[in-house]
Amino acid sequence: MVKQISVIGAGSWGTSLANLLAKKGHQVTLWAYEADLVARMQQTHINDLYLPEIKLSNNLSFTNEIGLAAEKEVVLFVPPSQAMRVVLSSCVDHLSSEALIISASKGIENKTLCPMSDIFDELLPDGLKNRTAYLSGPTFAKEVALEQPSAVVAAAHDQSIAQLAQIVFNTDYFRVYTNDDVIGVELGGAIKNVIALAAGVCDGLNYGYNTRAALITRGLAEMKRLGLAMGAKAETFAGLAGMGDLVLTCTGDLSRNRTVGVELGKGRKLNEILSEMTMIAEGVKTTLSTFELAKKIKVEVPIVEQMYAILYEEKDPRQAVVELMQRELKSEYV
Ligand SMILES: NC(=O)c1ccc[n+]([C@@H]2O[C@H](COP(=O)([O-])OP(=O)(O)OC[C@H]3O[C@@H](n4cnc5c(N)ncnc54)[C@H](O)[C@@H]3O)[C@@H](O)[C@H]2O)c1
Ligand SMILES: O=P(O)(O)OC[C@H](O)CO
């Protein structure tokens, strides 16, 4: 059934998902933060800042008026996670009480340590709190835009809402599974970015496949440990939003997080690396949140701690690896 949908956030992922939905036949409006980008997309149907390689569907319209965009049957939020609170706040009064609300952003807010679902729970009116779903999984925006077969999960507390999201997004190249573990799916998608930074650091230091495999596996152990302490299900970390996204981001050259890590491993300064990027590497800020969250709930996350020290205390990446390798010996599953 054709839906009126708005996508709030015209970065590479919002644009790619808006295009998927429009090609599927939905009536889609894409809201961009940058007014000049909206004007150019209206003329060219190309997002020259964030997804320049893709000619967008003629079925897609563009706006800079967030209130109007929010008045749709389905509202998909895809801003950077640190901007989610402000963006959602400006939409709340315009949302229909019947709307299906979806978040596809991956991160943990710095100042509150909230995953996106806590921000939605805090800001949405009661009737909409149970009408939200969280889309996550191993998906580079460009590959989805090129219709490469991909799979994701739509997580919601209410499975009828997860199923609605599944129906709205599923295509023959974008397979959507439902999931009821909202916190697990959210933490998987957020913390894998921290581990991807670390995987990039190892590559930048010219370590090999052994190091990468060890990093991915022990990174997954940290994601799962923190997730379990936050009430997530263990199996979520073996799924698309856990191991699936972790493997993609730690190994794929399209990952912005992994790319930042590679440059850090080569010895470049964080500020210099970030100043050259138009796009966002969520893991940089999520490292800070994850480090503080783990400290608060007393969960051991040695890779996250070393990544924090590299990013925020200018620790030498090679020394960080040495310290990880020289930690007290222990059983694999402690
Ligand atoms: N790109 C991907 O492949 C991909 C895949 C899955 C999930 N995600 C997630 O989607 C979210 C959005 O990332 P992206 O890759 O689409 O972005 P991007 O890096 O391609 O673009 C940056 C985005 O940030 C927006 N922005 C910058 N400052 C802002 C502000 N103050 N307020 C509101 N918006 C602002 C820009 O308008 C733009 O939409 C992130 O949480 C990311 O982790 C991305
Ligand atoms: O490019 P990254 O590192 O932000 O990763 C993009 C997606 O989250 C991969 O699933």
What residues of the chain score a pLDDT lower than 70? none
Tell me whether residue 192 is one of the annotated catalytic residues. yes
Same domain? For 58 and 176 the reply is yes
User: Is the CB of 106 inside a 6 Å radius of any atom of ligand 1?
Assistant: yes
Per the structure, the complete domain to which residue 90 belongs is given by 4-180
pLDDT at 1: 84
pLDDT at 334: 81
pLDDT at 267: 98
Task: Compute the 3-state secondary structure of the chain and give helix, strand, coil in percent, each to the nearest 5.
Answer: 55, 15, 35
CATH of the domain at 17: 3.40.50.720
Residue 37 CA: nearest ligand 1 atom is 37
Annotated binding site for NAD(+): 9-14, 141, 256
Cα 224–chain centre separation: 17
The domain boundary residue, chosen from 112, 146, 180: 180
pLDDT in tens, 228-241: 999 999 999 999 99
β-bridge mates for residue 7, sequence order: 30, 76
Please tell me the pTM assigned to this model. 0.98
Q: Whose CA is nearest to atom 1 of ligand 1?
A: 13
pLDDT in tens, 262-298: 999 999 999 999 999 999 999 999 999 999 999 999 9
Distance between Cα 138 and ligand 2 center (Å): 8
| 281 falls within a domain | yes
Annotated binding site: 9-14, 50, 106, 137, 139, 141, 192, 245, 255-257, 280, 282
pLDDT at 53: 97
CATH of the domain at 257: 1.10.1040.10
Q: In the 3-class helix/strand/coil scheme, how is 117-163 assigned residue by residue? A: HHHHHHHCCHHHHCCEEEEECCCCHHHHHCCCCEEEEEECCCHHHHH
Domain count, the chain: 2
